[in-house]
């Protein structure tokens, strides 16, 4: 061990002894080599260069741009060559810098390779084990290769970071869609005025059981359970799950639709809806009126917290449901607001288990098939990785946050094959 490595380790042990023991006990990565093809040697682990081989200072300056110049507190996720950490510590106004470790084995190696003494002894730095974190500290910057190399015990933090990183792009997408969305709301004002209010359903079945059907692939093999237990609870289906349920002879009590995408959602309703005459459609005013016109039964309007509903909500006050990007969220929230004490989740996969794409044959299969190859993944209920979409991971995190806030409700996931949802138990592990 070199003198610098020994001093790195001594500083680590003196300031964060418990974390130091975990880091020093972590085995180094297997796939590791130096790349000397650029201007500067860089360490490559599992194909990821930990810092730029051409201009690591410029790279650090660009990454530091994620932190406002006047910030007194900031967080850096990952360490790499520590160029970003040093760049931020040059700011005199910075009082606290949290450095979050995403892979203790990688840091173990870095302590032996590079001089980290400067930032390790800076009193403004607090080193944090990412595996202990359940939220993203703001403002923050991420070192991309470190995010890629994050360990399984940092999986949730990884997904939260990715969701935060794509948030500006999601906001821009919604901004571009706003004229279309406002137009669809305007075209639905007659429906909103005449249709019922979702609040009519609230608190009508206290202590009940709800079966919430989402359109993930595992719905196909778990729908039979719903059919066998149909009399034991109400069935709430998202729009994409309607046809798969009807094909199994299951008519939901309520169907939930919130999406502004006419092309995709309309196909879900261009089926024989005669069995649904006594079922209710809960919709937001964003849903295209071509879809609303097809519904044979009663319609109930709902809103979400989204600002786009501000004006119509003021004109026609009606109930709100929770949403965090997916129709699964208001479906689950509706079950809770109706009074369910036990909520079963069917097809809540938030991924592509077994290479399967969707429970509904009318879903845009080409889009989902391409998305499944993009590299995002999630841990399933068996402890194995399955392909997914970055947005799906965000939707799952939104549901997990909701479940965490509603601890009095029992949430049961019908299948282990989809992404694991924190806060749920599995159907096979219950007496049911």
Cis peptide before 165 (omega within 30 of 0): no
Calculate the alpha carbon distances from 286 to 152, 262, 282, 404 in Å: 38, 10, 12, 28
> Which of residues 373 and 399 earns the better pLDDT score?
399
Q: What pLDDT shows up at residue 48?
A: 93
Q: Residues 157-167: what's their mean pLDDT?
A: 92
User: Residue 432 above 60 pLDDT?
Assistant: no
pLDDT category of residue 352 using cuts at 50, 70 and 90: very high
User: Residue 89 above 90 pLDDT?
Assistant: yes
Percent residues over pLDDT 70 in the chain = 95
Tell me how far apart the terminal alpha carbons of the chain are, to the nearest angstrom: 58
> Which of residues 371 and 85 earns the better pLDDT score?
85
pLDDT digits (tens, 9 = 90+) for 229-262: 999 999 999 999 999 999 999 999 999 999 999 9
Q: Which of 79, 215, 100, 212 is nearest to 154 (CA)?
A: 100
- Going by the DSSP 8-state scheme, the letter that residue 417 receives in this structure is S
pLDDT category of residue 358 using cuts at 50, 70 and 90: confident
Q: Which residue has the tokens 């016109």?
A: 293
pLDDT digits (tens, 9 = 90+) for 271-292: 999 999 999 999 999 999 999 9
pLDDT digits (tens, 9 = 90+) for 336-348: 999 999 999 999 9
The overall average pLDDT reported for the chain is 93
Q: Answer yes or no: are the C-beta atoms of 96 and 127 closer than 8 Å.
A: no
User: Residue 166 above 60 pLDDT?
Assistant: yes
Q: What pLDDT shows up at residue 371?
A: 64
């Amino acid at each position: 061990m070199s003198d610098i490595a020994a001093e790195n380790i001594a500083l680590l042990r003196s300031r964060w002894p418990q974390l130091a023991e975990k880091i020093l006990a972590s085995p180094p990565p297997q796939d590791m080599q130096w790349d000397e093809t650029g201007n500067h040697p860089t360490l490559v682990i599992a194909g990821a260069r930990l810092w730029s081989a051409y201009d690591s200072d410029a790279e650090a300056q660009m990454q530091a741009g994620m932190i406002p110049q006047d910030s007194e507190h900031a967080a850096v996720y990952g360490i790499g060559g520590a160029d970003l950490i040093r760049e931020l510590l040059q700011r005199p106004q910075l009082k606290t810098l949290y450095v979050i470790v995403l892979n203790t084995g990688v840091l173990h190696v870095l302590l032996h390779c590079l001089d980290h003494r400067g930032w390790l002894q800076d009193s403004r730095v607090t080193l944090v084990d990412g595996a202990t974190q359940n939220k993203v500290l703001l403002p923050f910057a991420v070192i991309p290769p470190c995010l890629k190399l994050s360990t399984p015990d940092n999986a949730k933090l990884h997904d939260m970071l990715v969701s935060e990183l794509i948030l500006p792009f999601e906001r821009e997408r919604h901004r571009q869609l706003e004229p279309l969305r406002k137009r669809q709301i305007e075209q639905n004002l007659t429906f909103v005025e005449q249709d019922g209010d979702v609040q009519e359903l609230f608190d009508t079945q206290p202590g009940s059981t709800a079966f919430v059907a989402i359109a993930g692939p595992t719905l196909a093999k778990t729908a039979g359970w719903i059919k066998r237990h149909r009399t034991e609870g109400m069935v709430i289906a998202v729009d994409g799950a309607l046809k798969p349920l009807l094909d199994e002879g299951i008519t939901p009590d309520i169907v939930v639709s919130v999406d502004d995408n006419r092309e995709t959602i309309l196909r879900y309703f261009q089926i024989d809806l005669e069995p649904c005459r006594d079922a209710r459609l809960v919709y937001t005013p964003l849903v295209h009126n071509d879809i609303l016109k097809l519904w044979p039964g009663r319609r109930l309007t709902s809103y979400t917290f989204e600002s786009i509903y501000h004006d119509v909500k003021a004109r026609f006050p009606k109930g709100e449901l929770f949403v965090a990007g997916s129709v699964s969220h208001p479906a689950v929230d509706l079950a809770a607001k109706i009074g369910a004490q036990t909520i079963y989740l069917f097809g809540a996969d938030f991924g592509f288990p077994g290479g399967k794409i969707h429970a509904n044959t009318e879903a845009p299969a080409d889009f989902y098939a391409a998305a499944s190859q993009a590299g995002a993944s999630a841990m399933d209920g068996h402890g194995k990785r399955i392909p997914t979409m970055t947005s799906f991971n965000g939707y799952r995190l939104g549901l997990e946050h909701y479940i965490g806030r509603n601890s009095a409700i029992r949430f049961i996931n019908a299948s282990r094959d989809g992404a694991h949802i924190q806060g749920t138990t599995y159907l096979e592990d219950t007496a049911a």
